[in-house]
Amino acid sequence: MLFGVSNFDRQGIINNVVALAKATRVFDIPLVLSTVETGFSGYIWPQLKAIFPDHTPIERSSMDAWNDKNFVGAIEKTEKKKIVLAGLWTETCVALATVQALFDGYEVFVVEDCCGDVSQLSHDNAMKRIVQAGAKPVTSLSVMLEWQRDWANRGTYDAVMDIVKNHYGAYGMGVEYAQTMVHGAEPSRLPGYVPVAPSTKKRVA
């Protein structure tokens, strides 16, 4: 489905989704993953599987996840009435589920920079539709910072800063600069790159 996205940079969407996924773990937010993998959309992104290796996505056939009883049941099991939602494409999987969830009494926050669509018009119309229906547009960064709320919450501070440095560009660079050049901290020791071993198979000419 990401192949068909043209309104946002695809790598940017992956980056923002991974950042949001990491934040759900930092703040112990109940998570529901859902896909239409079998014979249509392809497997869930390996970047997400790496963050949730033991989390099995709910497989569905409907473009509207809210039409799937297993998905709705998983949402109900969280006992939460606020949903932070993202997906591909905005005008179908996101908009349809959002409108129905709102109708059923949920408060829905759509993480716009974690969504994408086949055109800017499609995405913009979908966002207008869900806002008119009562959903709130947010970004991955705004969601994480709202969960953090106070920099005095030291239990999550370092993890949030790690996500910022890895995924939020100029903001992350600014944090690193302030910590090292202004406050004299040691430079961050982010995880090193582990190269993939070269294949031992012979190439076919």
What would the DSSP string read from start to end of 41-68? I-PPPHHHHHH-TTPPPEE-S-SSGGG-
pTM: 0.90
C-beta of residue 129 within 8 angstroms of C-beta of residue 117: no
In the annotation, is 114 catalytic?
no
Taking CA atoms, 159 is separated from 16, 36, 69, 144, in Å, by 16, 31, 35, 11
The pLDDT of residue 41 is: 81
- Give the domain ranges of the chain: 2-147, 151-182
The pLDDT of residue 38 is: 75
The pLDDT of residue 199 is: 59
DSSP 8-class letter at 88 = B
Sign of CA dihedral 148, 151, 157, 160: positive
Please state the length of the chain.
205
The pLDDT of residue 78 is: 97
Tens digit of each residue's pLDDT, the chain (205 residues): 999 999 999 999 999 999 999 999 999 999 999 999 876 788 899 999 999 999 999 999 999 999 999 999 999 999 999 999 999 999 999 999 999 999 999 999 999 999 999 999 999 999 999 999 999 999 999 999 999 999 999 999 999 999 999 999 999 999 999 999 999 989 888 777 677 676 566 555 5
Using CA atoms of 46, 52, 54, 57 in order, give the dihedral in degrees to the nearest 10. Answer: -70
C-beta of residue 34 within 8 angstroms of C-beta of residue 60: yes
| Annotated catalytic residue, options 48, 65, 93, 141 | 93
And the tokens for 56?
């099995």
> Which CATH class for the 2-147 domain?
alpha beta
